[in-house]
Amino acid sequence: MAKKIKDTDYLAISARIRAMETGLLTRERMEQVLDARTDEEAVKILQECGYPELDPTRPEAMDAALSAAREATLADLADSAPDPRYIDIFKLKYDYHNVKAILKADAMGTDPSHMLMDMGRVDVQTLKEAIQSGKTEELPACLADAAAEAKEVLDTTRDPQLADIVLDRWCYRDMDAVAEAIGSEFLHGYVKAQIDASNLRALVRTIRMGKNMEFLRGVLFEGGDIDEAAILKVSADGGSGLMELYGPTRFQAAAEAGSEILRGGAMTQFEKLCDDAVGDYLSGAQAVAFGEAPLLAYLAARETEYTNLRILLLGRGTGLPADVIRTRLRASYV
């Protein structure tokens, strides 16, 4: 039997994480990038923070550079993490993205290569060959089952959106299975927060689109903290009760923005606030001296940082006003 990993096994890496947190981009540093007079000056500021040259005029090259930085961080921490499955949590979503791309490309008779992201647990070529041949025995079990179900749905309905929902549902199941196998309550909570955010988005979008409760039932994900039956009731009532359901939770601000959308508001701020609510859960790791929580929160903070850099640099590159870019930046706990 494998030795059970204890919180104290994370003493060394937790101390290292606290030191690495000082390298995260603070809001003040992002403001400097935002207020830089030229793109060259903005890129120089980021280079001083340890980033490679990020050229907003070449989005694909910029994305490749951010992906390389992300891979380097994951590889670095994988060497010292007591359980590598915590690193896998931040890789497996790319496996599911790649399955979506492969299945859609196969259905259309095109090559998925330009849509694949080689940042998952499974090498993209291995994944592509396994799915196209149907020989998925060597893939992680959840991923193999997900690919099979999504392919069946796509073949039957010819609706890629339904196949995507299947894969997203399996992705959350996969994450939760990892949390269960490790025995991490903090990771369970992180998965639940993501599911609650996805379900709130689905609720607001379906009401805005005029879809009925039964449509929403098909796109909700199980496993969140907010009761599915209560979400469906809000849908049946046309949005009435939204604030009563979400007001006592960390999703209060997102729900307020969602209510505005139902009166004709824009989606951008709502999407940001849903992400910020998940970040609020992760910020609880700041009070944890050692254990898996600081590691998970740091990796999630880096993911948020990469998202913010892309929003910031591409926004500058397209001439968006600073105030508009500022409202789209996700909150970070630093």
Domain-embedded: residue 244: yes
Burial of 255 per CB tally in 10 Å (0-12, 13-18, 19+): buried
What is the number of structural domains in the chain?
A: 1
Domain-embedded: residue 116: no
Domain-embedded: residue 147: no
Q: Which one-letter amino acid corresponds to residue 298?
A: Y
DSSP string, 229-297: HHHHHHHHTTTTTHHHHHTTSTTHHHHHHHHHHHTT--SHHHHHHHHHHHHHHHGGGGG-SSSHHHHHH
Domain-embedded: residue 15: no
Domain-embedded: residue 118: no
Query: C-alpha 42: how far from its chain's center?
Result: 26
Confidence of residue 1 (pLDDT cuts 50, 70, 90): very low
Domain-embedded: residue 254: yes
Percent of the chain with pLDDT over 70: 96
Domain-embedded: residue 106: no
Average pLDDT over residues 42-58: 84
pLDDT at 14 over 80: yes
d(CA 254, CA 118): 32
Residue 325's nearest CA partner among 270, 269, 275, 285 is 269
Provide the whole-model pTM. Answer: 0.87
Query: By residue range, what is the domain housing residue 201?
Result: 184-286
d(CA 63, CA 306): 9
| Range among 1-5, 179-183, 199-203 with highest mean pLDDT value | 199-203
Structure confidence by residue, pLDDT tens digits, 24-48: 888 888 899 888 888 888 888 888 8
Distances in whole angstroms, Cα of residue 93 to Cα of each of 24, 30, 131, 214, 318: 23, 27, 17, 27, 29
d(CA 67, CA 52): 11
pLDDT at 2 over 60: no
Burial of 107 per CB tally in 10 Å (0-12, 13-18, 19+): middle
Query: C-alpha 281: how far from its chain's center?
Result: 14
Structure confidence by residue, pLDDT tens digits, 103-129: 999 998 898 888 888 889 999 999 999
Domain-embedded: residue 57: no
